Structure 1
């Protein structure tokens, strides 16, 4: 599959089968995250693999968006290791964690696995449940597994603006404020 086709076909899986993810596939997904680019190559990502029944139960107490996946990857970044932009000290850790998450999400799709990027979780509940130190910032949760047979892309999956709505050449002249796709 070529890359553009992969990103078009990949969708958020919200129904997972009970089938376990093979270690070889998990290793490839984690490797995709390891080699993802990060600001100044500081590699501040820290990934917690949640696969035990005990940890999956803890996860359910932190978010309703776990989708009963057989495992999840909690992507954090180390705020003491992430690069800070010199102009305003903006921390690039969230950007780095997002790039890492995207790489893992796409690798999973190529392997026939499903994911959903979850940002709706209680960070303090996550910290408490998994004993996460203060210098690690939870950025994304990636439920991971095989899609159930009755799982399909959301009806809005293919609804996209024309490129002219999101891409501008040389100037933002004529850009409109706050318009989002109609649901």
Structure 2
């Protein structure tokens, strides 16, 4: 698939088939995480691959939508804050930015091989940290189900370029 097709056709899938994801496709999606750019190439993240059938109850406590646990996997990108680059002029640790880029790469890779995903940022952080047994330097940033979609895309109107692009001369 052409890149423009991947980014145009990808949508937030809110329903999944009870169908296994092939190992090659899962590995393709995970490989995308390793090529995601991160500050000074520190790669300060972990990707948790969670078997939904084995952890349906725990995942449902983290995020309550029924479709969240329909896919065979849920992925979680965790930022490792003490390994991330920090801007020296304002001390902004960019671990959350790095983790978001990683998730974006995986989500686009999933779309490229016909798998559905949905960015989940509105989860119960304390439940996620408890379930994943994270330490004080780790932060769950985003989740996504990963599987074959069984739902149509919502109507998501997009802004025109002139509504958000600002050219600085």
Which TM-score bucket, shorter chain as reference?
over 0.9
Higher Rg: 1
Moved over 3 A (4+): none
Cα distance in structure 1, aligned partners of 2:163 and 2:100: 23
Deviation at 1:57, TM superposition (A): 2.4
Q: TM-score, normalised by structure 1?
A: 0.87
Cα distance in structure 2, aligned partners of 1:49 and 1:130: 11
Q: Which runs of 5+ in 2 are unaligned?
A: none
State the number of aligned residues.
Answer: 167
Q: State the partner residue of 1:74.
A: 76
Contact 1:82 1:92 in 2 (8 A): yes
* Residue among 129, 132, 135 paired with 1:133: 135
Cα distance in structure 1, aligned partners of 2:154 and 2:98: 27
Q: Secondary structure at the match of 1:127?
A: helix
Taking the TM superposition and a 5 Å limit, the aligned residue runs for 1:84-123 are: 84-123=86-125
Q: State the partner residue of 2:167.
A: 169
Cα distance in structure 2, aligned partners of 1:6 and 1:67: 24
Structure having the larger proportion of residues in helix: 2
Please, what is the CA RMSD of the aligned residues? Answer: 1.2
* Residue among 136, 158, 161 paired with 1:160: 158
Cα distance in structure 2, aligned partners of 1:133 and 1:16: 32
Q: TM-score, normalised by structure 2?
A: 0.94
Q: Which runs of 5+ in 1 are unaligned?
A: 172-183
Cα distance in structure 1, aligned partners of 2:75 and 2:9: 21
